[in-house]
Amino acid sequence: MDLISQNHNNKNPNTTLSTQHASSPPPSSRYENQKRRDWNTFCQYLRNHRPPLSPPSCSGAHVLEFLRYLDQFGKTKVHHQNCAFFGLPNPPAPCPCPLRQAWGSLDALIGRLRAAYEENGGAPDTSPFGSRSVRIFLREVRDFQAKSRGVSYEKKRKRVNNKQITQSPSQPPLPPQPLEQQQQGQSMMANYHHGAT
């Protein structure tokens, strides 16, 4: 009560704001918000399941059902093998092939759900999101979508001066440098060398 009356009587707005700001939790990141929405969606799916399930009682098979259910909301065209546009990255015309969830979206979703499962008390070694069946499913989706859409999901190695460079896993990846920055750097170095002579 004493703290409330002091804040109320204080005429300095900066003091009041800083006291209120210190007690409020930091804003959630975009990732944390998405993870929470994904977890709530998955839990709602389990509650609507027949019979209803709880997260600890679900298996990899239930996760696969959930991923197949999500396909109806997908926005990625996945061509059938008998489609004329199978394997073309940029089809010249529309076709009746279905829209599906993109492999990258499913992979990221499983990562967020796996983290949320553990944050909500699930053991990492019993997580249905890390089950062998889910890993195999994601690999098959990736491979089929790569063939169907004519795109590669392979990780590309960096090349510098025609020499392959592989970074060690402990090093963070280097950010790509835009062409303008490369040119600016070259001209700055040229000016530096000309000024030094």
pLDDT tens, position by position, 5-38: 444 444 444 444 444 445 566 678 999 999 999 9
Does residue 176 register a pLDDT over 60? no
- Identify the bridge partners of residue 151 per DSSP, sorted by sequence position: none
Query: What confidence tier does 71 reach under pLDDT thresholds 50, 70, 90?
Result: very high
Range of the domain at 133: 29-149
In a domain, 113, yes or no: yes
Residue 118 · residue 55 · CB < 8 Å: no
In this structure, what CATH number is given to the domain that contains residue 79?
A: 1.10.150
Q: What is the mean pLDDT of residues 116-140?
A: 96
3-state secondary structure of 166: coil
Can you give the pTM of this predicted structure?
0.64
Residue 187: per-residue pLDDT = 40
Q: Render the burial of 101-115: b for 16+ CB within 10 Å, e for the rest.
A: bbbeebeebbebbbb
In a domain, 46, yes or no: yes
Residue 19 · residue 7 · CB < 8 Å: yes
Per the structure, the count of domains in the chain is 1
Weakest-pLDDT range from 36-50, 78-92, 147-161: 147-161
Does residue 170 register a pLDDT over 50? no
In a domain, 14, yes or no: no
Per-residue tokens: 114: 């796996």
In a domain, 162, yes or no: no
In a domain, 81, yes or no: yes
In a domain, 75, yes or no: yes
In a domain, 177, yes or no: no
R_g over Cα of the chain: 26
Query: What confidence tier does 47 reach under pLDDT thresholds 50, 70, 90?
Result: very high
In a domain, 87, yes or no: yes
Average of per-residue pLDDT values in the chain: 77
Query: What confidence tier does 164 reach under pLDDT thresholds 50, 70, 90?
Result: low
Q: What is the mean pLDDT of residues 73-100?
A: 92
- Identify the bridge partners of residue 120 per DSSP, sorted by sequence position: none
Q: Phi and psi at residue 76, in whole multiples of 5°?
A: -105, 120
Query: What confidence tier does 151 reach under pLDDT thresholds 50, 70, 90?
Result: confident
